[in-house]
Structure 1
């Protein structure tokens, strides 16, 4: 068995590269992907007839190089965005929503960007269905909203 592994070390490197790539897909941290690249380089060394010590040295060198040089640059590109740019729930306060059902301090539904959220109005207020409201805060999966003043365009007009 030991002779077979020694003669077919490429199979170990291939298995390790694939396993590390699968783990990377699960954790999305770019660490295992860098180690998979080292395994792929060791696989190439094994297929080229390199000695086992050389394969291990290539694995270590390429993995270290990828972790130190490539990973920080890749992370920088992945996290590209304007400094202070708000995303996800942090970007919701101040946005206008469509009220889907009467919203009170204890119940309500609103729609923002095509998504339906539970909503709550300030205590003692009811925001009627069909009106618009503004998101004040996000509390878990519930939006705290306040009614927007409505303009009566027909007020003051005589018929």
Structure 2
């Protein structure tokens, strides 16, 4: 490859890395894309390939050193707090009136909330501890924390006695 064609190589590399950054949003590919652009400029000015590599590596290193404190600060930031009814998602509640797909009642955070079973085929009896999976308006969608006991089988009807 001619010395002046390296700028095209670095430019294509920068575009590929930019597309990778756009797809992953990791910032690493963006730093490398910027480094490849610097190397393309250096190549366009007629520098040798080792000088282009040096420009690429130096720019990438400076970018990492400059962004490391920002990345570290982002990693140590506490998770965003939820407020209002969103803060109730993930909490535990106690069923006070049987909960099914059509309705029911749970005691949640010191208040009674209308509730529905998250699984529409499930009927949760009173006294069962449940987890709140979602809040829809003023209704908690809940699921039992522990597996429900099997329902008792219904007794078979007594055979009819015929008197003769």
What range describes the TM-score normalised by the shorter chain of this pair?
0.5 to 0.7
Q: CA deviation at 1:85?
A: 2.7
The structure-2 alpha-carbon separation of the partners of 1:108 and 1:68, relative to structure 1 and needing over 3 Å to count, comes to farther
User: Gapped runs of 5+ residues in structure 1?
Assistant: 95-102, 110-117, 126-134, 146-159
User: Gapped runs of 5+ residues in structure 2?
Assistant: 92-98, 104-116, 135-139, 144-164
The structure-2 alpha-carbon separation of the partners of 1:65 and 1:29, relative to structure 1 and needing over 3 Å to count, comes to same
TM-score (norm 1): 0.53
Q: CA deviation at 1:24?
A: 0.9
Distance in 1 separating the partners of 2:4 and 2:33? 21
Alignment RMSD: 3.8
TM-score (norm 2): 0.52
Offset from partner CA, 1:37-90 (integer Å, 9 cap, x none): 1101111211222222111100011112212322x2443576696x24346xx8
Distance in 1 separating the partners of 2:58 and 2:18? 18
Q: Which has the larger radius of gyration?
A: 2
The structure-2 alpha-carbon separation of the partners of 1:40 and 1:119, relative to structure 1 and needing over 3 Å to count, comes to same
